[in-house]
Amino acid sequence: MPALIDTLREIVGTPHCLSALHDMAPFLTDWRGRYTGAAQAVVFPADTAEVSAVVRACVASSTPVVPQGGNTGLCGGATPLTDGVAVVVNLSRLRHIRRVDPANNAITVEAGTPLAVVQAAALEADRFFPLSLASEGACEVGGVISTNAGGVQVLRYGNTRELVLGLEVVLPDGQVWNGLRSLRKDNTGYDLKHLFIGAEGTLGIVTAATLKLFPRPRSTVTAWLAVASPAAAVALLSRLRGVAGDRVTAFELVGRTPLELVLQHIPGARDPLDAAYPWYVLIELTDTRPDAGLLELLETELERAIADAAVHDGVVAQSESQAAALWSLRENISEAQKREGFSIKHDISVPISAIPDFLEWAGQALEAAHPGVRVVAFGHLGDGNLHYNLSRPLRDENDTFIARTAEVGCIVHNLVAELDGSISAEHGIGQLKRNILTVYKSEIELELMRSIKKTLDPAGLINPGKVL
């Protein structure tokens, strides 16, 4: 539609409206390379007013709109469909930090601000923003909010939902809802911001957010431990929380297979321990006091765990660089898997107490159905979220295995449902799990979701084909 393209160029400026395929290409494929769509244009508005104008122009011509941030999602939620009729609205130019309010422990930022920039701005104000993801240098606030991202410190601080005080949103008709309140208490009817958190851009486009800040940690201790089993890891988590409470900020479970992929594909990665073990945990404790005695506390509990044969070996970081090296092993698993090739990925959650049973039962069921399957299991044991990814060890066998994604997924997701878990813990639904959602959500839940979508977006033009 040349007339629409001309209008979009008038709104955002010609350099910020791409319509040639070779220019649009980087924004039409998801991070994993699983989905590639098509679009009329990719536009880069500079502020909320331009986002609103773009949406109004698209609505007037019945053109679908696909919101996009850093394009680091894993479920195709920010990738347009293949029909080529949509306009991708990339928010990466909306990256101003509007206000930092240390006394209120709040920061207001625009949707295109990279997560790492928010973290740095908080530190400059002697505060702490706890959301931490492997992609934090590239992922942006709007996308993080739209997927209700989790990360490694949910155990202490909660998902993105718990970290948002207020939002600014361009609605599907182009109106702007300014809900950028920084209140902890506001009991004036429906809390509308929660409609948009985790909605994957299907109900509106988040353009700015007011986020919670916290006191800056002054002491940190990080450890990499070989544990006897996932059950031993769960018991160790319970033990540590019993003596350290919320000072246990991260507790990650890593299987030997994902560690080996990192050692193989990530330059400079090295095994922290001399021997190989089936399971590891990466633990972080923090405190706002510099003299909190975290090292002594952790070492005392580890001595007991070793005496009980729950922990086989381990290393405690003696410097920030050593801690960073340990964290890089965990954070580079997804990148290592990407370099290894396609796998069948599952982002599931079950009650923490059910994690050992899930790992045992899922492993048995999959091995029986697909002998020789390679299980890459890791994740946030502290909040019950596992990334449970499957492939064949030999590349020439993997294409056939990937073609059986639906069959394999049924084994995993049915077990998750039996354990009262969720088929998506933090990555969202997007295109990847849209059809699967109808199997595991009740009809009343689905109908409520459809009703909300129809009310806010009756024409179905905002990120169509995602979630529902």
**CA 156 to CA 420: how far, in whole Å?**
22
Confirm whether 103 is domain-assigned. Answer: yes
The CA-based angle 207-211-214, given to 5 degrees, is 160
- 191 and 157 inside one domain: yes
Residue 170 confidence (pLDDT)? 98
**CA 43 to CA 5: how far, in whole Å?**
10
CATH number of the domain bearing residue 351? 3.30.70.2740
CATH number of the domain bearing residue 162? 3.30.465.10
- 125 and 206 inside one domain: yes
Confirm whether 143 is domain-assigned. Answer: yes
What's the order of all strands across the beta sheet hosting 17-18?
17-18, 41-43, 87-90, 65-68
Residues 6+ apart with CB under 8 A from 275: 226, 313
Alpha helices in 84-148, H assignment, sequence order: 115-124, 141-146
Residue 341 confidence (pLDDT)? 84
Domain count, the chain: 4
- 286 and 272 inside one domain: yes
Q: Are strands 17-18 and 41-43 parallel, antiparallel or unpaired?
A: antiparallel
Residue 1 confidence (pLDDT)? 58
Residue 152 CA, chain-centre distance (Å), reads: 10
* pLDDT tens for the 468 residues of the chain, in order: 579 999 999 999 999 999 999 999 999 999 888 899 999 999 999 999 999 999 999 999 999 999 999 999 989 999 999 999 999 999 999 999 999 999 999 999 999 999 999 999 999 999 999 999 888 999 999 999 999 999 899 999 999 999 999 999 999 999 999 999 999 999 999 999 999 999 999 999 999 999 999 999 999 999 999 999 999 999 999 999 999 999 999 999 999 999 999 999 999 999 999 999 999 999 999 999 999 999 999 999 999 999 999 999 999 999 999 999 999 999 999 899 989 888 899 999 999 999 999 999 999 999 999 999 999 999 999 999 999 999 998 877 888 898 899 999 999 999 999 999 999 999 999 999 999 999 999 999 999 999 999 999 999 999 999 999
Confirm whether 435 is domain-assigned. Answer: no
177, β-bridge pairs: 169
Helix axes 333-340, 320-331, angle to 10 degrees: 40
- 260 and 229 inside one domain: yes
CATH number of the domain bearing residue 276? 3.30.70.2190
- 276 and 201 inside one domain: no
- 277 and 372 inside one domain: no
447-466 core/surface letters (b: 16 or more CB in 10 A; e: else): eebeeebeebbeeebbbbbb
**CA 91 to CA 113: how far, in whole Å?**
9
**CA 337 to CA 343: how far, in whole Å?**
8
Confirm whether 463 is domain-assigned. Answer: no
CATH number of the domain bearing residue 23? 3.30.43.10
143-153 core/surface letters (b: 16 or more CB in 10 A; e: else): bbbbbbbbbbb
- 382 and 368 inside one domain: yes
Confirm whether 350 is domain-assigned. Answer: yes
**Domain end position, chosen among 189, 215, 241:** 215
**Domain end position, chosen among 45, 73, 90:** 90
Residue 298 CA, chain-centre distance (Å), reads: 29
- 199 and 254 inside one domain: no
Range of the domain at 211: 97-215
Token digits of residue 402: 């990937």
Confirm whether 438 is domain-assigned. Answer: no
Confirm whether 307 is domain-assigned. Answer: yes
User: Where would I find the beta strands (DSSP E) of 2-52?
Assistant: 17-18, 41-43
Confirm whether 458 is domain-assigned. Answer: no
- 205 and 240 inside one domain: no
Token digits of residue 403: 């073609």
Residue 445 CA, chain-centre distance (Å), reads: 23
Q: Is the pTM of this model over 0.85?
A: yes
- 181 and 105 inside one domain: yes
DSSP one-letter code for 381: G
Token digits of residue 248: 């246990």
- 211 and 107 inside one domain: yes
